[in-house]
Amino acid sequence: MKKLLPVSLQQLPGFLRATRQLPLYLIGVVLVSFAFSACERKEAETSFGIDTTQSYSQLDTLERSINEILMSIPQGSKVGAIDSFFANKKHIPFSRERHLAYRAAHYLRDERLMLALSDLDTLIEITEKKPSAQKIYAEALFNKADIFILLGKYNFAYEFYSRAGEVARKTKDACISSMFDYRIAMVLYRQEFYDKAIGYFNRAKSSYLACDSSFIPMFRVQEIYDNIGLCYFKQKKYDSAQLYYDSTLAYINNMPSATQLTSDMLNSARSVVYVNQAQCLLYQGDTLAALAAYKKGITPVAKAREKTFTASALLRMSEVFAALNQLDEAEASIEEAEELQQQTGVASIKRDLYKARWKLSLLKNEKDKALQYAKAYWDLKDSILMEEKETQANSINLFMQAFEYNERETELVEEGRNREQRLLLSVIIAIAAFIATMISLFSWMKSRKQNRQLLLLNEQIADQSKTIKQTYEDLKLLDQTKDRIMGIVAHDLRNPISAIYSMATLLNEQAKERKDDEEIQMTNLVRTACEGSLELIQEIMMVADLQHNKGFVKKERVRINEFVDSTVKLIRFKSAEKRQTIQMILPEQEQEIMMSPDKMRRVLSNLLVNAIKFSKDGSNILVRSEVQNYHWIVSVKDQGIGIPDHMKSQIFETFTKAKRAGTSGEKPFGLGLSIVKQIVEAHAGKIWFESEEGLGSTFFVQLPVE
């Protein structure tokens, strides 16, 4: 879809082009959605989600000054200019947050994604505990999730989306809610649910208009109009698409003059719409009108500001010239695109250049050149495809030391429990012996000596009981200490491992530039180890949290159908990797239930992830929701490998040994179902399953309807 300053598919790094099936500007939106908090513009001409109730006219001179500087220098020099500008602005409120936000935005524009992630990590860390900076915090979470979506790390993306959604629910902030609605619309677009995407785009537009800043909706609304036009275009409703493209242009033309925009920026925004219109006109069969629209979109401003986008548009226009048999004009367009590609070095544009020259050479009957360009095209295409392939594996090598410590703690607790049992047995034997002795003495002597012995026995029993009670309290404290240490270790490891992951990826990219295969292999091993460790940290922190808050959940009223539908949509990315289909059977009438939406979303998503993990490619997964006898029952049925009989009694244990790899080699941690069971029982609910080995499994969750 489109940005105010458009981003084309060819601007993405090689490992991001796996999303190439998306339209040109949709990818631009997702990729740059974190670049600027309010309108998400690529030139950083506004604040990055700073909490303020001021309108644009009250924005401080800091914002205006940095934007004026950034608009006057080349893109490659902007990061340095940002650092220099903020070096002596530390006394200004939120200056550090603004510094990180601007710099992350321009790292992204320079395709230095790992540096952008590093700045976002820092931004999240310094704003998480600041009540006055929750909008910045939520936006940074959204932005980091967006990058993980593009990297194909859907588990990480889901975690950060969930955390941002929690901030939106707590703050009830319209701006944060609009970000969430917008991303749901993007997900629906990716899944080709265009009608539903249009609905969520409209919801996002309404939320943006309710924001406390007039600058935010000003740019997001014109973008949403164009996005809706693209939805209609994908549905082949070309008249409706053109109507929304016209509305976008009208909206841009009617924008208030009191903004930080220059005429060049507005013209760049118009260029995006013109190119979209040209594509629509081609499908409507109006080739000449499409050619005119391409010419309107390909302007000197666009060439100067958006080289990759313009190069892509020039190549598409060359195809139109070729179709009209205007071969000289087609050649000229290709040459212009080549000049821009040489300035940017984007590999995918170079690939498309080879293809364009191949097709043009065929039209000119230059068969030798055509063969040469065709070979270059296929070689580069294969190279790009190879670069896009990533191996996703779960490794916990970096976490072994923490686990060894954890195992020692577990052994200590188990040893304490064994001592308690032995002590209890000894006490019972002692009591029985004393009682037998007293009975014998009572029977034979019936004297005061017997009474004194009985009194002594009672005192001994009281002492033993006190000892047992103290032992139990000590063991209970030891168990709590173990859970607290486990949570602290996991929490303290999360940020450094995230940093290691970012640095390893940066080194990996540098190694690829140097073509150092050994270093590429080593950094890939570090990255996969970090990925598995971060996922395991999340599981361990959840276990520690459940143990700490055992039996307590904060409930709220939740609409069942909406809850199940939204959870399944967020998990569909995972099933798409294995070409699996998730079907839902929901009650016709919407009903509500009291529960913790975050924790129960974790329950349903864990069951879905397990179904995906243990099912074969192309299989079906069924989610059924129903209310019976004042209970809500949701089930997840798969066609997977099933559960062997000897494992069925162990699968709900913490760190269970009943672990098996998934059908695609996914490695388990043995925590997921234990967490699910604890959450369900905290809701006064039940969980059970039915399974036959080789035929699949069905997990049931039942909660009372209060």
Say how far apart CA 543 and CA 529 lie, in whole Å. Answer: 21
Residue type present at position 9: L
Structure tokens at 8: 């084309």
Structure tokens at 277: 């219109």
The residue assigned the tokens 């295409």 is 381
| Residue 140 near residue 579 (C-beta atoms within 8 A) | no
What does pTM read for this prediction? 0.47
Helix (H/G/I), strand (E/B), else coil: 652 = coil
Q: Which has the closest alpha carbon to 313: 331, 337, 290?
A: 337
For residue 687, the cross-strand partners are: 701
Residue type present at position 244: Y
Structure tokens at 117: 């992630």
Query: What pLDDT is attached to residue 433?
Result: 87
CB neighbour list of residue 255: distance below 8 Å, 6 or more residues apart: 218, 222, 261, 266
Say how far apart CA 406 and CA 498 lie, in whole Å. Answer: 21
Rg, the chain, Cα only:
31
Would you tell me how many other CB atoms lie within 10 Å of the CB of residue 24? 24
Report the alpha-carbon angle 173-179-184, nearest 5.
Answer: 125
Instruction: Report in angstroms the alpha-carbon separations of 195 from 179, 229, 241, 402.
Output: 19, 12, 13, 48
Burial class (CB in 10 A: 0-12, 13-18, 19+), 643: buried
| Residue 6 near residue 268 (C-beta atoms within 8 A) | yes
Structure tokens at 323: 């179709």
**Which stretches of the chain drop beneath a pLDDT of 70?**
1-64, 68, 71-72, 75-76, 111, 152, 154, 212-219, 256-262, 387-413, 479-492, 494, 532, 536, 538-539, 541-552, 655-659, 667-671
The residue assigned the tokens 């998400």 is 40
Distance of CA 230 to the CA centre of its chain: 24
Is the four-CA dihedral 200, 201, 206, 208 of positive or negative sign?
A: positive
Say how far apart CA 25 and CA 491 lie, in whole Å. Answer: 38
Q: Where are the domains of the chain?
A: 33-172, 180-258, 397-548, 556-704
Say how far apart CA 701 and CA 689 lie, in whole Å. Answer: 9
| Residue 373 near residue 361 (C-beta atoms within 8 A) | yes
Query: What pLDDT is attached to residue 78?
Result: 78
Say how far apart CA 67 and CA 508 lie, in whole Å. Answer: 33
Residue type present at position 463: D
Architecture of domain 556-704: 2-Layer Sandwich (3.30)
Query: What pLDDT is attached to residue 199?
Result: 92
Fold of 180-258: 1.25.40
Helix (H/G/I), strand (E/B), else coil: 633 = strand
Phi, psi of 592 (to 5 degrees): -120, 155
Write a three-state SS string for 278-327: HHHHHHCCCHHHHHHHHHHHCCHHHHHHCHHHHHHHHHHHHHHHHHCCCH
